[in-house]
Amino acid sequence: MPHSRHCPKGSVIICISGMAGCGKSTVAKKIAEEFGLRYFSGGDALKALALETGYKPLERGWWESQEGMKFLRKRSEKPSFDKEVDKKLLEWARLGNVVLDSWTMPWLLKRRGFKIWLEASPDVRAQRIATRDGIDIKRAITAIHEKDSRTQSIYKRLYGFDLGADFSPFDLILDVNDLTPEEVFRTLSLAISRLCKIQAG
């Protein structure tokens, strides 16, 4: 795996992606801390935009709440939300030495960065969301089905790629169904250290 393509010295870009509930945000934050990189999240940037437009994305499990789903539907109608977030993420990527928690960056960064996809089944993701957000499993299943469908539709319309079906941009795909968060973190830490030639901070 060419060093110059993925993680040129002094300009490390690691992008971690996966469908809702796969654990990407948790592990992306830990990877950033482990290697002394800055962490930026597309989800956090979307929450900031939601806050600016009158939503209150502060409670645990907001994305799966009625208001969170309403915002998702609003995004479907107004793609400028997502384009604004992606513009900001690209600016952060250009600075280098970052971990990006994003659905779109694996495609928009073209050949830059080391790109990781975390694969988890809908049932596993729903269980994780239910546990994380303190909601019942039925609500979690309903939420991820709508979230998956609408998010895939948004990015297909905006950029033409198939989120969750097109894995062509990714350098590493990790099945996390039977792994604990710690095992995911350790596996990715080893892969990043070996393949990107960087050491923990």
| pLDDT, tens digit only, all 201 positions of the chain | 333 345 555 589 999 999 999 999 999 999 999 999 999 988 777 777 777 777 777 777 777 777 877 877 777 777 777 888 898 899 989 989 999 999 999 999 988 999 999 999 999 999 999 998 888 999 899 989 988 998 999 899 999 999 999 999 999 999 999 999 999 999 999 999 998 888 786
Instruction: Quickly name the fold that domain 8-195 has.
Output: Rossmann fold (3.40.50)
Q: Would you state the pLDDT for residue 7? A: 57
Q: Is the pTM of this model over 0.75?
A: yes
- The residue with tokens 């998956």 is 148
C-beta pairs of 128-134 under 8 Å, 24+ apart in sequence: 128/21, 128/22, 128/23, 129/20, 129/21, 129/61, 129/64, 132/21, 132/60, 132/61, 133/60, 133/61, 133/64, 134/60, 134/61
Q: Would you state the pLDDT for residue 64? A: 73
The per-residue pLDDT for range 58-108, each reduced to its tens digit, is 777 777 777 877 877 777 777 777 888 898 899 989 989 999 999 999 999
Q: Is 114 exposed, middle or buried (0-12, 13-18, 19+ CB in 10 A)?
A: buried
State residue 118 phi and psi, 5-degree precision.
Answer: -100, 120
Q: Would you state the pLDDT for residue 66? A: 79
Q: Is 52 exposed, middle or buried (0-12, 13-18, 19+ CB in 10 A)?
A: exposed
Q: How many CB atoms lie within 10 A of CB 115?
A: 23
Q: Exposure string (b/e) for 141-177, b if CB count within 10 Å is 16 or more?
A: bebbeebbeebbebbeeeeebebbeeeebbbbebebe
Q: Would you state the pLDDT for residue 3? A: 36
